[in-house]
Structure 1
Amino acid sequence: MSRYRLYPTPTQQAALLEQCRHARYLWNMALEQWSMWTPDKRPTPGYVEQARQLTEARAASGWLRAGSQTVQQQALRDFDQAVRNFYAGTHRRPTWRRAGVHEGFRIVGSQASRVVKLNRKWAAVKVPKVGWVRFRLSRAVPDAKSYRITRDRMGRWHLAFAAIPPPIPAPGTGEVVGVDRGVTVSAALSTGELLTCPGLTEREQARLKQLQRRRARCRRGSKRRGRVKAAIAKLYARAGDRRKDWVEQTSTDLARRFDVIRVENLRIGPMTRRPKPKPDPERPGRYLPNRRRAKAGLNRGILANGWGDLVARLEHKAAGRVEKVNPAYTSQTCSVCGHCAPDNRESQAVFRCAACGHRANADVNAAVNIAAGRAVSARRETPARVSPKREPQLAASG
């Protein structure tokens, strides 16, 4: 999507929040009706029946009648589409929307084209029941049939037009690059480049820890707790903005420079799942240590480096040019002779082959293996470069 920063006035902010409440209320009502279905009951109401019920509810409730019917009907359409996607197996089950977290609504149809350009830097969009709201022209406004207005936890408003940009054309040089994703080094390229995703500085991390301790001492529902939560959300939003900006710039650069981009086929969801508890067989009701805190730190490192976002944006910008390679033993295999052994990895950053003595950065060595498309396993699914039947050759004497 093409997203822009929205700058509503205080009066417009209150009206936009009211629209968000209407959309969230109707989504949750539709979800409640859908969740009540059981095999021994009749089917739950669909969109047509829910739209009829919405007309009756607007006639009986002044709160709903004061809002935009376009926004409310679109919330029901969005839920109906979410249910269809769930049954098709392309999306997960629809979930409840919470205040302060899921703030937004969508406009579809002719009203989505009501955009005027004010000057070189500013434009305005006509929102039903709100009026003309200004937004920053950070790029050209696309020709879209719908847009979505959202509010993040930091309190910032955004306007996103549903327009998919065309993919970046290949340079035509025939170059192939391998990308190895890590925690210490966010992305290592087979060309030897080491890319690091920016995050919070040490001072910001100390500030975050201080605010989290302060929040633990606040009374739930108090205004002080709300101010502390807003300050914490501001730091998290800052880290997320930096990560998204790094992902966009890195993916664009790779799509413009290389014809084929090869990455590891990683399942990030299971990799960042919390470990299961280990019951103690000798003490019923007790549990053994499962290194939960260490795993939580690893999960935070994986998510903070944007592994999934980087590959997703590469697939969008370099459509059909991203190949996923089996990640098995790519970090233990020498990129020169193909020798695979755990001893080759001296440390997190150093790779030294025990067979040929090749020494290189461990992440770059893995990226070279990924670029070559090699997924060497312990059973040698990929044939070795040198025949295993060949006898060792003695070095010629001077």
Structure 2
Amino acid sequence: MLSGRRYRLALTDEQAEQCQKFGDVCRAVWNAALDQRRQYVDRFTRGRRGPFCGYHLQTSELAEAKAEAPWLKEAPSHVLQQTLKDLDRACRDRGAFKVRWRAKHRWSPSFRFPAGNRIRVQKLNRRWSRAKLPKLGWVRFRSSRPVGGAIRSATLSRKGTRWFVSFLVEDGLLTPEHHPGTPVGVDRGVAVAATTSTGQFHDREFARPGEKARHLKLQKKLSRQKKGSKNRARTLKAMGAVSTRAVDRRGDFCAQLARQLTTRHNVVVLEELRTTNMTASARGSVDAPGKYVRQKAGLNRAILDKGWHRLEMALRNAARKSGTRIVLVNPAYTSQTCYPCRVVDADSRKSQAEFVCTACGHTDHADVNAAKNVCRAAGHAVPACGDFGVARSVKQEPPGTREEVPAQPALELAGNPRAHEVQGGSQPQHLGSWRHA
């Protein structure tokens, strides 16, 4: 199994300057190659055919460009080739016109050494180790944990004022075929980051009140400064130092929660949320300006602050080691559906946290009720009183005579029930449109 190992580097001034040059060269190569690809697509759409502008063509042109531009030789050849390979993959996945430019002030420098056999790591003491990288020599890094496997590649990146190295390692582990756990549904929200169908709430304050006040003060100061000035650069550096703490806390929270969920449960069900579309601006255009722009901007900040997409990525990463399956379901009507009686009514959600069914009177926390619907949408039942382990569960109701319930046929697909259309009035709608096998 391929795993990542990330460490903080302790570079000398010369090494830091050289890494910055490598990043600038890679950024220039990325932008030039992306411009070539966009021109090729534009000519192709107009009916002007020519040689395909792909990775192999651009690699050969890069070797010829080094004779005319000696500054390209400052970075190793395989680093620049890896940049072109990353661009080729991005253009194939998303298209040339959807790949972003790497702007100088909005992109953090990063580059990759793909030749793992040319990278050597030595242990210096309990806290420090060093790695030998092409054209950089020996670089020291904080040995927070063992590398634990054969190195395939090394990626250097800058975050704020610090440089980090990430080793891609073959650790020799295999994904387990069986996980002795129970399914769980997770509802991602704005007030609470994640709520499970077992009734647990997971949340954390990523930015402290003092940090928010300082960041706001720096934003006001930035608006009065001239673009390109040294004072503006210092203010941006201070803002980055404040926001980096919140980003690190968010990443730590997502990693810990993902580890906890994948260890205890064999299936984790999430709503298929497209965060990029949900956080789009509501400004509109000059001819058709949007409505509730400030309210939408506040909602976008709240969604991005909770790290919905980062939690999903952390779950997928942690699931490789535990064998847990990550299932995505349709999020429609999960917050308006009563879990016991399956009646859909927007009036049942009285507030952000209160859910009272208008049909059967069932009362529950709104996020917990939504998480139960998310879990059931994937075809899994949710225990009424929670589950404390694989071999021991609490009883859901006292023993006694029970009415016979007719067996339900198996579901054809894992999805969310759609509501029947009811003509006239605001009558609650019953979910009877489940597709059966």
The 3 A distance-change label for structure 1 pair 66 and 312 is closer
The 3 A distance-change label for structure 1 pair 352 and 12 is same
Instruction: Output one character per residue of 1:253-309: Cα deviation in whole Å (capped at 9) or x when no partner.
Output: 000011121122222222222236388xxxxx5x56600111111111111111112
Instruction: Output one character per residue of 1:15-59: Cα deviation in whole Å (capped at 9) or x when no partner.
Output: 111111222222222222222221215225544444444344434
Residues 183-198 of structure 1: matches in 2 within 5 Å?
183-198=190-205
Amino acid at match of 1:22: V
What residue in structure 2 maps to residue 7 of structure 1?
10
SS of corresponding position for 2:340: coil
Amino acid at match of 2:120: R
> How many Å separate the matches in 1 of 2:177 and 2:372?
21
Contact 1:171 1:257 in 2 (8 A): no
Q: Kindly, what percent of the aligned residue pairs are identical?
A: 38
249-258 or 19-28, which deviates more: 19-28
What residue in structure 1 maps to residue 25 of structure 2?
22
Contact 1:169 1:318 in 2 (8 A): no
What residue in structure 1 maps to residue 342 of structure 2?
338
Match of residue 264, structure 2, among 257, 271, 275: 257
> In the TM superposition, what is the alpha-carbon distance from 1:119 to its structure 2 partner?
1.9
332-341 or 175-184, which deviates more: 332-341
SS of corresponding position for 1:144: strand
Residues 256-295 of structure 1: matches in 2 within 5 Å?
256-275=263-282, 277=284, 290-295=291-296
The 3 A distance-change label for structure 1 pair 172 and 48 is closer
Question: Structure 2: 5+ residue runs without aligned partners?
Answer: 379-415, 421-428
> How many Å separate the matches in 2 of 1:219 and 1:249?
42
Amino acid at match of 1:306: G
Contact 2:267 2:327 in 1 (8 A): yes
The 3 A distance-change label for structure 1 pair 185 and 171 is farther
Matched, 1:32 2:40: no
Contact 1:345 1:352 in 2 (8 A): yes
What residue in structure 2 maps to residue 43 of structure 1?
51
What residue in structure 2 maps to residue 326 of structure 1?
330
> How many Å separate the matches in 2 of 1:173 and 1:52?
53
> In the TM superposition, what is the alpha-carbon distance from 1:151 to its structure 2 partner?
0.9
Residues 44-63 of structure 1: matches in 2 within 5 Å?
46-63=54-71
Contact 2:120 2:132 in 1 (8 A): yes
What residue in structure 2 maps to residue 367 of structure 1?
371
The count of corresponding residues between Structure 1 and Structure 2 is: 375
Contact 2:344 2:431 in 1 (8 A): no
> How many Å separate the matches in 2 of 1:75 and 1:326?
36
The 3 A distance-change label for structure 1 pair 270 and 72 is closer
> How many Å separate the matches in 1 of 2:375 and 2:241?
39
Instruction: Output one character per residue of 1:347-379: Cα deviation in whole Å (capped at 9) or x when no partner.
Output: 111112223332221111111222222734331
Contact 1:107 1:147 in 2 (8 A): yes
What residue in structure 1 maps to residue 298 of structure 2?
297
> How many Å separate the matches in 2 of 1:223 and 1:181?
41
The 3 A distance-change label for structure 1 pair 68 and 325 is closer
> How many Å separate the matches in 2 of 1:330 and 1:224?
49
Matched, 1:131 2:137: yes
What residue in structure 2 maps to residue 217 of structure 1?
224
RMSD: 2.8
177-186 or 27-36, which deviates more: 27-36
Contact 2:342 2:430 in 1 (8 A): no
> How many Å separate the matches in 2 of 1:325 and 1:67?
45
SS of corresponding position for 2:110: strand
Matched, 1:243 2:247: no
The 3 A distance-change label for structure 1 pair 351 and 164 is farther
Amino acid at match of 2:30: W
Match of residue 114, structure 2, among 108, 111, 114: 108
What residue in structure 2 maps to residue 203 of structure 1?
210
> In the TM superposition, what is the alpha-carbon distance from 1:93 to its structure 2 partner?
3.9
The 3 A distance-change label for structure 1 pair 188 and 15 is same
What residue in structure 2 maps to residue 389 of structure 1?
none
> In the TM superposition, what is the alpha-carbon distance from 1:14 to its structure 2 partner?
0.5
The 3 A distance-change label for structure 1 pair 373 and 289 is closer
Match of residue 358, structure 1, among 355, 362, 375: 362
Contact 2:20 2:109 in 1 (8 A): yes
Contact 1:170 1:255 in 2 (8 A): no
Contact 2:355 2:366 in 1 (8 A): yes
> How many Å separate the matches in 2 of 1:270 and 1:134?
42
What residue in structure 2 maps to residue 120 of structure 1?
126
Matched, 1:75 2:88: no
What residue in structure 2 maps to residue 378 of structure 1?
419
Contact 2:377 2:417 in 1 (8 A): no
358-367 or 207-216, which deviates more: 358-367
> How many Å separate the matches in 2 of 1:41 and 1:275?
39
What residue in structure 2 maps to residue 97 of structure 1?
102
Question: TM-score of the superposition, structure 2-length normalised?
Answer: 0.78
